Amino acid sequence: MDGQTHHLCASVLEHIGDTPLVELKRFELKPGVRLFAKLEGQNPTGSVKDRIVRRMLLVARRQRQIAAGSTIVEATTGNTGIALAMIGRRLGYRVKVVVPENVFPEIGNLLRVYGAEIIWVPTEQGIQRAMDLARELARNEGWFILDQFANEENSRAHYEGTGPEILADLPRVDIFVAGLGTGGTLMGTGRRLKE
């Protein structure tokens, strides 16, 4: 075998999170400095966005903001839309994503493979137009906008998930670095690590 622990999951949703933290040893660092990376690419769609989408949808369902047959809409340029397409469809929702025309073709292909309907907006109008259109569409009966940019569950997914996972593997963290999109990873994980 490969030396890794494997386990069966009843649902792909159970495979979101609990990603490995690995030490990067091939960098020349000052004595006493150790560098680690959280392998969020191990999530089912290959990104950290699986965490936030799962949480936002499950909380919305628990709060009865969405029900069976609801249509979920979101503005995206990539990973959140892909995660929404996979997770939303898995939970039984219709998924529509509003996307600027200049996104990489591979993103459109993945969105289609996961069953999302793509609504394109002109490149020159960008993500702001996509966000505005998603909000307009969410006014329809039975529609719900994920709203990753304003949804508090975005950072809470990291406060309650990513942060504790890091601390379980590495009780002392001096510096935390994260990519910045909506800010959810940095805000939620950072807040938990500071505590």
pLDDT higher than threshold 80 for residue 5: no
**What is the per-residue pLDDT across 58-74, written as a single tens digit (0 to 9) for each?**
999 999 999 999 999 99
Does an H or E element contain 23, and which? strand 21-23
Rounded to an integer, the average pLDDT of 106-127 is 97
Rounded to an integer, the average pLDDT of 119-147 is 97
pLDDT higher than threshold 90 for residue 4: no
pLDDT higher than threshold 60 for residue 154: yes
Report the greatest alpha carbon distance in the chain: 60
pLDDT score of 1: 42
Please give the share of the chain, as a percent, with pLDDT higher than 90: 90
Return residue ranges of the chain for CATH 3.40.50.1100: 53-152
pLDDT confidence band for 117 (50 / 70 / 90):
very high
CATH code, residues 53-152: 3.40.50.1100
pLDDT confidence band for 143 (50 / 70 / 90):
very high
In whole angstroms, what is the distance from residue 130 CA to residue 135 CA?
A: 9
pLDDT higher than threshold 80 for residue 2: no
pLDDT higher than threshold 90 for residue 93: yes
pLDDT confidence band for 10 (50 / 70 / 90):
confident
In 26-173 the beta strands, taken as DSSP E runs, fall at: 36-38, 71-75, 94-100, 117-121, 143-145
pLDDT score of 6: 64
pLDDT score of 138: 98
Give the residue numbers marked as catalytic.
49
Q: What is the mean pLDDT of the chain?
A: 94
pLDDT confidence band for 17 (50 / 70 / 90):
very high
**What is the per-residue pLDDT across 20-45, written as a single tens digit (0 to 9) for each?**
999 999 988 899 999 999 999 999 99
Q: β-pairing, 21-23 with 36-38?
A: antiparallel
pLDDT higher than threshold 80 for residue 18: yes
